[in-house]
């Protein structure tokens, strides 16, 4: 079974600085997707970025980028020029196969990001 581990319960960053959130996962699959979701106090899960395992190039979305190390099964999220609105819980997720081309997400336990003004 696949597992996702986030070893940092909480991280803090100064506004305008850069922070990296860590995620490792375990799988025997060779092709898969990985995601980072943001959950502000409103509870809604917002997709931040996704990475396809067969793509060697790291995904980027504006100030958000990932460092995907397939061999090490590591998928970290880098937030550049941190803003107060980035403060939230961040969850790493792995796409896990169900059946018949259907998938579910397996989530890590989350990292709470605090942004200091």
Partner 1 sequence: GAGVSQSPSNKVTEKGKDVELRCDPISGHTALYWYRQSLGQGLEFLIYFQGNSAPDKSGLPSDRFSAERTGGSVSTLTIQRTQQEDSAVYLCASSLVGRGGTGNQPQHFGDGTRLSIL
Which stretches of the chain bind partner 1, using CB under 8 A? 4, 6, 33, 35, 37, 42-47, 50, 52, 91, 93, 95, 97-110
Report in angstroms how near the CB of residue 73 gets to partner 1 at its nearest: 17
Least gap, CB of 34 to partner 1 (angstroms) = 12
In the complex, the smallest distance separating the C-beta of residue 6 from partner 1, rounded to whole angstroms, is 8
Is the Cβ of residue 33 or residue 64 nearer to partner 1 in the bound state? 33
Measured between its terminal Cα atoms, the distance across the chain in Å is 41
Closest distance of CB 84 from partner 1, Å: 21
Q: Report phi then psi at 85, rounded to 5.
A: -70, -10
Q: Output the six-digit token pair for 108.
A: 């890590």
**Residue located via tokens 């998938």:** 103
Strand partners, 21: 77
Our CB check for partner 1 shows the closer of 28 and 117 to be 28
As a whole number of angstroms, the distance between CA 82 and CA 38 comes to 14
Q: Quick check: helix, strand or coil at residue 86? A: helix
């Amino acid at each position: 079974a696949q597992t996702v581990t986030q070893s940092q319960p909480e991280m803090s960053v100064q506004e305008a600085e850069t922070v990296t959130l860590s995620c490792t996962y375990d799988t025997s699959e060779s092709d898969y997707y990985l995601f980072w979701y943001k959950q502000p106090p409103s509870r809604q899960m917002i997709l931040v970025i996704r990475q396809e395992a067969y793509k060697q190039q790291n995904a980027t979305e504006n100030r958000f980028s990932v460092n995907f190390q397939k061999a090490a099964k590591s998928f970290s999220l880098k937030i550049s020029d941190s803003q107060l609105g980035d403060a939230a819980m961040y969850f790493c997720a792995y796409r896990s196969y169900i059946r018949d081309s259907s998938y579910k997400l397996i989530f890590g336990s989350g990292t709470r990001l605090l942004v200091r003004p």
